[in-house]
Amino acid sequence: MLLMVLLVLIGELGGMLEAQNLPTGELYGGFSYANTDLFSTNKRAGLTGWEGSLGVNLGSRLALVADFGGDYGTSRVPVLVPTPFPTCPPFCPTSVTDFSVDTKLYTFLFGMRVPYRKWEKFTPFGQALFGRAHVSGNVPGFSEIDSKFSYALGAGGDYTISPRLAWRVQVDYLRTRFFKGTQDNVRVSTGIVLHFTRKKKQRTLTTP
């Protein structure tokens, strides 16, 4: 439903943005790295994955954004304080200090982006996104999952390769609230941006 609304907005705003020589919208996809502490263990974990977003420009200084991402890897959880995983028994890891948790993080965020369009090739921006994050942690015989409100505050920049193509680098502070705790995470991503522009109508000369 949200995707349909965004596509309608692209069509309605196309004429206005055409006069400003701006793309009506943009599609981003790239590689993501997240430095996380999703189980509140004070042990940071590096997760890798993907991030994609769809943006609709409302003008030269504001865009609506729908952002989705997934990051995967291994977290380390102390044996003595295994929360949210059960204590021994029934869960008795063989390691002495900590154990590995197969971790998956997904984010579903929506908000706004504010670009600064001063230079022809480079466009820096700031953004604020709000929504939901989902985490799953798996160990032999047990699985813990949680979904909570989260938000991301970030900045980045697009380097223009052609009128329809750019390269993006962005960094976000990602706040999550899993398992009755609060986690401060950092997410970095880079990838390709496709610009959507409205084709100009060709004028034809008519004779009376």
pLDDT at 145: 97
Residue identified by tokens 């006069």 is 19
Average pLDDT in the chain = 89
Q: What is the mean pLDDT of residues 167-192?
A: 97
Q: Is the dihedral of CA 148, 51, 24, 22 positive or negative?
A: positive
pLDDT at 12: 47
Using CA atoms, how far residue 162 sits from 17, 167, 180, in Å, is: 18, 10, 46
SS3 47: strand
Q: Which of 2, 11, 8 is nearest to 198 (CA)?
A: 11
> What residue type is 105 in one-letter code?
L
Least confident span in 56-65, 164-173, 196-205: 196-205
pLDDT at 142: 93
Domains in the chain with CATH codes? 2-196 (2.40.160.20)
SS3 85: coil
Q: How confident is the model at residue 5 (pLDDT cuts 50, 70, 90)?
A: very low
pLDDT at 8: 47
DSSP 8-state code for residue 33: E
Query: Which residues face 62 on adjacent strands?
Result: 59
Within the chain, where are the H helices?
2-19
Going through the chain in order, the beta strands assigned E by DSSP cover 25-36, 45-59, 62-78, 98-115, 122-139, 142-162, 165-176, 183-196
pLDDT tens-digit profile of 23-73? 899 999 999 999 999 999 999 999 999 999 999 999 989 999 999 999 999
Query: For residue 183, is pLDDT > 90?
Result: yes
pLDDT at 22: 83
Query: For residue 13, is pLDDT > 60?
Result: no
pLDDT tens-digit profile of 105-138? 999 999 999 999 999 899 999 999 999 999 999 9
pLDDT at 202: 53
Q: Which of 50, 51, 52, 53 is nearest to 6 (CA)?
A: 53
pLDDT at 146: 98
Give the burial class of 113: count Cβ atoms within 10 A of its Cβ; 0-12 exposed, 13-18 middle, 19 or more buried. buried
Q: What percent of the chain has pLDDT over 70?
A: 85
